[in-house]
Structure 1
Amino acid sequence: MILKIDMAGSIPIYVQLRNEIVKGIGRGELAAGENLPTVRQLASELGVNTMTVSKAYQLLKTEGFIETDRRKGAVVSSIPDRGTAGDAAAERYMDRLGDELELLSAEAKLRGLKREDFLKLCEDAFAEMGV
């Protein structure tokens, strides 16, 4: 998997790293049970501080995308079920997703993007995940 990290960008590197790994899992480039590089390996490959990678891995672990084990290292988690009605975690996720989509919609509108074009971008992004 190729990680696209913008070292000069405004988004913190650990967030970019987290996002790239989530996209890799979503696209099927990283399978459940697959080992991720060690913190030191990935930091060396990217030319960043180990604390940056560690922070990204901790965030991914908190969100349930990876599991960590002292012997195995960081491993991609099984894809969790969406949850059931009334599941607090699923409801929080849906609220967060709604908020993020609302913000993206507002930005698209303010930049003159047509509704159809925005929806097409959403459809293309979702299709890229193999859904």
Structure 2
Amino acid sequence: MLLQIQFESEIPIYQQIKNQIIRGIATGALQQGEDLPSVRQLASDIGINFHTVIKVYNQLKQEGWVIIHRKSGVMINPDLNLTKTPEYMELLDDLMKTTTAEAFMRGLTKEEFINIIEKNYDNYKTQGGK
């Protein structure tokens, strides 16, 4: 698994890792049932504290993206079947409020903003999503 971490980014390292794993699943680059590197291995490969990787893996587990076995490690959930729940829709709305506010304040037009969303959504559909 190849992750590209930008250490100077305003986005925390744990969030960059989490985002890239979710994107990897959405594009098909990471397959259901595929093993992820151990906590220590991933931390060593990236050059970060292993507690950061533990945080990522635990968040991904809580959200249903991965399963963690004490002996066999972390793997993409082989039964991954995420659904659109009211809780998820509320979370998405909250994330979009912030993203939309930033885009608005940076001068993006509504059309530019929608085009970015459509491009990204279509990209996941063509790369192996649902």
* Structure 1 length-normalised TM: 0.87
The answer to whether 1:124 aligns with 2:119 is yes
Q: Cα offset for 1:66?
A: 0.3
Task: Determine helix, strand or coil for the equivalent of 1:74.
Answer: strand
AA in 1 matched with 2:117: C
Query: Could you tell me which residue of structure 1 aligns to residue 80 of structure 2?
Result: 79
Query: Could you tell me which residue of structure 1 aligns to residue 31 of structure 2?
Result: 31
For the 8 Å contact 2:64–2:82, the answer to whether it is kept is no
CA distance in 2, matches of 1:13, 1:129: 23
AA in 1 matched with 2:113: F
Q: Which runs of 5+ in 1 are unaligned?
A: 84-89
CA RMSD of aligned residues (A): 1.4
Q: Cα offset for 1:103?
A: 1.7
Q: Cα offset for 1:28?
A: 1.0
Poorly superposed stretches of 4+, deviation over 4 Å: none
Alignment of structure 1 residues 11-50 onto 2, 5 Å: 11-50=11-50
Per-residue CA distance 1:72-93 (angstroms, 9 max, x = gap):
210101322415xxxxxx1111
CA distance in 1, matches of 2:99, 2:20: 19
Query: Could you tell me which residue of structure 1 aligns to residue 101 of structure 2?
Result: 106
Q: Cα offset for 1:18?
A: 1.0
CA distance in 1, matches of 2:120, 2:2: 17
CA distance in 1, matches of 2:48, 2:4: 13
* Structure 2 length-normalised TM: 0.88
Percent identity between the aligned chains?
39
CA distance in 2, matches of 1:79, 1:123: 24
Q: Cα offset for 1:12?
A: 1.9
AA in 2 matched with 1:96: L
CA distance in 1, matches of 2:74, 2:116: 32
Larger relative contact order, structure 1 or 2 (CA cutoff 8 Å, min sep 6): 2
